[in-house]
Amino acid sequence: MTVTEARPAKASRDTGRTRGTGAPPGVRLRRAATPWLFLAPALLLFLYFKFIPMYEAVRMSFEEVRPFLGNTYVGGANYSEITDSPDFAEALWHTVVLAVTQTAGSILLGLALALLLEGQTRSLWFIRSAIFLPVVTAMAVVAEVWRVMYYPTESGAVNSVLGFFGLGPSEFLNSPDSSLASIAFVGIWRGAPYDMMIFLAGLAGVDRVLYEASAVDGASRFRRIWHVTLPGLRPVFAILLTLAAIRGLRVFTEVFLLTNGGPDGSTEVLLTLTYKLGLERNELGVAAAGTVVLFAMLLVLTIASRLRRREPR
């Protein structure tokens, strides 16, 4: 009888301890530490190759960098020099133009491709994969292919197509009037498939009942897209606008490989300018100030986008 009464009391005490405090402290510590152990290698790589260089860039932006002689603190002189430079203003304008053009073009083309390729058939999956290839192709390869296609004679690939429609040959990358537009088109061609995949994921979440109801009401396909599809894709647009704008402001590789800022500075952007300041003119402090200014622009854009998404509708 005594043993029988003691066991429920012990079970009651164990249950109370489990409900009150949960797992023992050692178990909770191991559970909390396990994810960080898996993340530790990547975090160490980020720290060494990203965050430490970022800190050094900010520090160098306030100094006159003199290799082997020691740096000298100059305060905001580097920022004044870079922002007062006419080259900086021109590069900033080209960067903004490319960012706006590539953002708008890639989003519109990506949306059109997503609407055309929406579905579950096997052939569509093959076409989507083929269209997505520019995104996973190295930019160096993409730039070299487009350099060949932009060959500025009548026998060039793009000029041959233009000649079929009765348009004269263009110099593309060799002319200050068309070089920036030519680079923007390459960015749109490469960015649209990425936006297409995001739009396809967003289209899967649009309520099909709304399509059926609008079709019953006699709405045309254009009205269904305008009144059902686009409102349903509003969160997707917010995300893509931010990503595409950041991608446009950080443009460097295609400009560097296709024109290197030429001809006559007509395609100079912020990153190519800072690259030349730092590695060609050896003005590392001024170049670091330029990169910090660009980072500040991206940070403001990201924060503004996040605050915009949090506003009540």
Give the per-residue pLDDT at 281.
Answer: 86
Q: How far is CA 3 from the centre of its chain?
A: 69
Query: Is the pLDDT confidence value at 177 over 70?
Result: yes
Backbone angles phi, psi at 312, to 5 degrees: -65, 140
- Which of the listed ranges 1-10, 151-160, 303-312 does the model predict with the highest average pLDDT? 151-160
Contact in structure between 88 and 273 (CB atoms under 8 Å)? yes
Query: Is the pLDDT confidence value at 12 over 50?
Result: no
Give the per-residue pLDDT at 6.
Answer: 46
- The DSSP 8-state label assigned to residue 258 in this structure reads H
User: Which among 22, 18, 94, 113 has a CA at the least distance from the CA of 262?
Assistant: 94
Pick the residue with more confidence: 14 or 115?
115
Query: Is the pLDDT confidence value at 11 over 50?
Result: no
- The DSSP 8-state label assigned to residue 168 in this structure reads P
Average pLDDT over residues 250-261: 90
The per-residue pLDDT for range 17-33, each reduced to its tens digit, is 444 456 788 788 888 88
Which pTM value belongs to this model? 0.80
State the DSSP string of 178-222: THHHHHHHHHHHHHHHHHHHHHHHHHTTS-HHHHHHHHHTT--HH
218: left (phi over 0), alpha (psi -120 to 50) or beta: left
State the DSSP string of 45-104: HHIIIIIHHHHHHHHHTTEE--TTT--EE-TTHHHHHHHH-HHHHHHHHHHHHHHHHHHH
Average pLDDT over residues 139-161: 89
Contact in structure between 140 and 252 (CB atoms under 8 Å)? no
The per-residue pLDDT for range 183-221, each reduced to its tens digit, is 999 999 999 999 999 998 888 888 778 877 887 777 778
Question: What whole-number distance in Å separates Cα of residue 35 and Cα of residue 124?
Answer: 38
| pLDDT, averaged across the chain | 84
